Amino acid sequence: MIISIQANGETTIFELNDGNAAKELYEQLPLAVDVEDYSSNEKIFYPPQKLDTTNTPLANARFGTLAYYAPWGDVVMFYDSFGSVGGLYELGYVISGGEHIKNMSGTIQINKV
């Protein structure tokens, strides 16, 4: 499962894993959602429906990790190292355009590829 995220005229491509949460995110696409800054190493957005984390690996987040923070119900795109925390599940990893994550702002468009 491959997804593209368009923001500010740039495209970032992620490959999703086989976990239930990644599959559920994929099934909600296409989406147009607002992206937000969080901390100094990540961008977040909220999918319309919470994701089921059954059979989804815990994340050890680093540059390019796409993750789901179950307690808040947000998807996280990391543009710097983070590590792990309870409730953070890996959805996939960037395969191109990772350098654009840091500058994402406003409404982003997320599509199946």
What's the pLDDT score for residue 12?
Answer: 98
Closest by CA to 63, choosing from 89, 29, 97, is 97
Question: CATH number, domain at 31?
Answer: 2.40.100.20
| Predicted structure pTM score | 0.96
Question: Could you give the CA distance from residue 27 to residue 81 in angstroms, rounded to a whole number?
Answer: 28
Q: Mean pLDDT throughout 27-46? A: 97
Q: Mean pLDDT throughout 56-80? A: 97
Tokens of 68: 């789901």
What's the pLDDT score for residue 65?
Answer: 98
**E strands of the chain, at which residues?**
2-7, 10-16, 31-34, 36-38, 42-45, 65-69, 74-78, 88-96, 107-112
Question: Could you give the CA distance from residue 57 to residue 80 in angstroms, rounded to a whole number?
Answer: 20
Q: Mean pLDDT throughout 57-86? A: 97
Closest by CA to 100, choosing from 12, 3, 9, is 12
Question: Could you give the CA distance from residue 89 to residue 2 in angstroms, rounded to a whole number?
Answer: 18
What's the pLDDT score for residue 97?
Answer: 98
Number of folded domains that form the chain: 1
Q: Domain of residue 41: give its range.
A: 2-112
What's the pLDDT score for residue 107?
Answer: 98
